[in-house]
Amino acid sequence: MPTKPLNIETDFMHLARLALTGRAQDVQLLLHRAVKRYRTASPKLAETIAELLREAPTRASPLRRQSEIPVPVDGDSRLQLLRIENDPVFDHEPVFGEKIGRQLTQLINERRNPSALIDAGLHPSKTALCVGPPGVGKTLAARWLAKTLGRPLLILDLAAVMSSYLGRTGGNLRHVLDYAKGIECVLLLDELDAIAKRRDDSGEIGELKRLVTVLIQEIDDWPPSGLLVAATNHPELLDPAIWRRFEMLLEFPLPDATALSAYIGDLLSGRTDNASVWGRVLALSLKGHSFSDVEREIVGLRRSAALDGRKLDEVLTAALRSIPDSKAERIELASLLVEEGIMSQRQASDLTGVARDTIRKRGITPEEGTQDV
């Protein structure tokens, strides 16, 4: 046995605390660590615990566990403090940049193979902070994580959690996180800056500053078995102590042409025979826009086509108005429009401002065409 009895006492107290709060998955994580810690000093104990873990019955479904606990509500309005998606769905396949995709995959792999981390004295990332402008996929990423992990997605409704009696908001926040801790889920704190502003901001009243302290305490107590994802459009407003609580930072930029092309192609798939072509064309035309801006534009054009009884391709062609600033991109757009038969050389020239000679030469030798602008 370990030479310091205090270690055993500490481990036992931690185990008891987790068991009494009903966090079965965290109990298992603690026991896995105990197997490794006591393997040398007390091999019989370690093997007994390991055997118990191997024989443990499959944990209850998180959805079933959720249904057994009432969803927390605001004491004044009686509104539910959480929006729950038991089986998140997507209208189209999510498109993520390379770096974001790699980070999201790591979060998935950490939860699918926690034993590798435990053996190295680590635990799966408990918290992730998504930052970036509106409409770039932050909420979608949380939904994708929940869907891929087969867990419910819990979304904090900030409008409901901010009680009409501000002093009760801290209690609302605790109720939400305590509820989520008892379920194997993905919890999304959307618009985090609304309740986690810098405490040195002289414009904020004392009660709002105390909310930050409550949130810090709750994040510190978040279990490794859960996954807490927060999102903000204004990271500069966040309290520095909040920043330090998140183990992974996911920075969502505006989508590049490749991501936009794939996204638009998916939005138009099955609605036109030229979905991939329009993906490339509109990606250049709509560069600098967010995914949500692009979806709004495409849906609006589809509505126009339906109401006017016109083909979607005609409406898309007539709507080409936003032209890239870069000369190279304008040449690329003009050439693409002509090559794909969407416009004549004259029409492409009038739209983009690229000389017809340049468009013709680009079709033969792209290098010469670029120099002629």
* Cβ neighbours for 130, distance < 8 A, ≥ 6 positions apart: 138, 141, 142, 229, 230, 231, 232, 250, 252
For tokens 């109720």, what's the residue? 175
Predicted pLDDT of residue 296: 93
Query: Which range among 105-109, 223-227, 256-260, 278-282 shows the weakest confidence by mean pLDDT?
Result: 223-227
Round the average pLDDT of the chain to a whole number and report it. 80
Same domain assignment for residues 49 and 114: no
DSSP 8-state code for residue 124 = -
Asked whether residue 246 falls in the same domain as residue 270, the answer is no
Structure confidence at residue 206 (pLDDT): 64
Written as six digits, the tokens of 235 are 């990271």
Average pLDDT over residues 67-84: 69
- Residues 297, 194 share a domain: no
The whole-number pLDDT of residue 45 equals 76
Q: What is the model's pLDDT at position 55? A: 58
Radius of gyration of the chain (CA): 27
Residue where the block lists tokens 């032209």? 323
Using the predicted structure, report yes or no on whether residue 371 has a pLDDT greater than 60. no
Q: Higher model confidence: residue 300 or residue 37?
A: 300
pTM score of the predicted model? 0.72
Beta-carbon neighbour count of residue 217 at 10 Å? 14
Question: Is residue 285 over pLDDT 90?
Answer: no
Q: How far is CA 54 from CA 31, 38, 135, 356, in A?
A: 11, 17, 44, 73
Which range is least confidently modeled, 7-21, 75-89, 179-193? 7-21
pLDDT digits (tens, 9 = 90+) for 333-364: 888 888 888 888 888 888 888 898 888 877 64
Where is average pLDDT lowest: 25-34, 171-180, 217-226? 25-34
Residue owning tokens 């040195």: 200
186 DSSP assignment? E
Query: Do 149 and 241 have their domain in common?
Result: yes
Q: How many domains does the chain have?
A: 3
Share of the chain above pLDDT 70, in %: 78
Q: For residue 367, what are the domain limits?
A: 257-371
Give yes or no: residues 187 and 316 share one domain: no
Same domain, 363 and 338: yes
Q: 201 and 115: one domain?
A: yes
* Listed residue (264, 266, 360, 353) closest to 316, CA to CA: 264
> What is the model's pLDDT at position 290?
93
Which residue's entry shows tokens 């405490």? Answer: 199
Residue 117 has pLDDT above 60, yes or no: yes
Kindly state whether residues 41 and 164 are assigned to the same domain: no
Residue 109: both structure tokens together: 């792999």
Give the percent of the chain with pLDDT over 90.
27
244 and 268 in a common domain: no
Whether 268 and 320 share a structural domain: yes
Q: Among 30-44, 218-232, 309-323, which is the least confidently predicted range?
A: 30-44
Asked whether residue 152 carries a pLDDT value surpassing 60, the answer given is yes
Is the pLDDT higher at 373 or at 51?
A: 51
What per-residue confidence (pLDDT) applies to 179? 87
* CATH number of the domain that residue 228 is part of: 3.40.50.300
Q: Are 220 and 247 in contact (CB under 8 A)?
A: no
Tell me the average pLDDT across 321-328: 78
Task: Look up residue 238 and give its amino acid.
Answer: L
Whole-number Å distance between alpha carbons of 367 and 361: 9
